[in-house]
């Protein structure tokens, strides 16, 4: 039985090196981690990547992330240094961190609903490469492709 996207994402994100690679892709390229985890899930389910499907998922992720996830993440990051010396602010920061995680869960649920009826196929299904923003330099491209390879290798077999 296929795991739902949230369960799959949590399990994959806990694999050695996956968190670091995902956050590096997010910070270095502006990749959307939820979108990458969804891409790995779609690859695992053998769902074909088409330009139309990709555009639907990217639009959904971009809109929710810009409106909800990124403001929470920005606030949490801005409070990082000051919260080290202010226990009350540290508690508030943890609350914001929890809200950020909830917002990412909602995004994953929305992504899953958008593609739940897409069938498995024998066509190429390289979602991860398609979801990765274009790197700024050739060296970054090689590093980023390595991160994608490690992410793909961490996905459990059927």
List, as one string, the DSSP characters of 37-101: HHHHHHHHTTBPP-HHHHHHHHHHHHHHIIIIIHHHHHHHHHTHHHHTT-HHHHHHHHHHHHHHH
- Position 119 pLDDT exceeds 60: yes
Say how many domains are in the chain.
1
- Position 55 pLDDT exceeds 70: yes
Predicted local confidence at residue 125, as pLDDT: 75
Mean pLDDT of 61-73: 98
Domain residue limits at 97: 5-154
pLDDT for 124-133, tens place per residue? 678 998 998 8
**Residues 140, 155: Cα–Cα separation, whole Å:** 23
Mean pLDDT of 45-69: 96
CA distances from 107 to 52, 93, 140, 156, 157 (A): 19, 21, 27, 22, 25
Predicted local confidence at residue 80, as pLDDT: 97
Mean pLDDT of 106-114: 97
Predicted local confidence at residue 123, as pLDDT: 73
Predicted local confidence at residue 1, as pLDDT: 41
pLDDT for 4-17, tens place per residue? 999 999 999 999 99
- Average pLDDT across the chain, whole number: 90
- Position 118 pLDDT exceeds 90: yes
pTM above 0.95, yes or no: no
Predicted local confidence at residue 136, as pLDDT: 65
**Residues 149, 143: Cα–Cα separation, whole Å:** 10
Mean pLDDT of 97-104: 98
Predicted local confidence at residue 149, as pLDDT: 86
């Amino acid at each position: 039985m296929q795991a739902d996207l949230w369960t799959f994402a949590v399990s994959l994100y806990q694999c050695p090196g996956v968190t670091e690679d995902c956050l590096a892709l997010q910070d270095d390229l502006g990749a959307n981690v939820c979108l990458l985890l969804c891409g790995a899930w779609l690859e695992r389910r053998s769902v074909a990547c088409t330009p139309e499907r990709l555009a639907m998922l990217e639009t959904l992720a971009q809109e929710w992330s810009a409106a909800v996830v990124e403001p929470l993440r920005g606030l949490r990051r801005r409070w990082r240094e000051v919260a080290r010396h202010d226990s009350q602010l540290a508690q508030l920061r943890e609350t914001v961190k929890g809200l950020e995680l909830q917002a990412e869960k909602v995004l994953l649920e929305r992504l899953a609903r958008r593609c739940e009826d897409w069938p498995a196929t024998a066509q190429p299904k390289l979602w991860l490469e398609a979801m990765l923003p274009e790197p700024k330099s050739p060296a970054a491209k090689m590093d980023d492709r390595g991160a994608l390879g490690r992410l793909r290798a961490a996905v459990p077999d059927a």
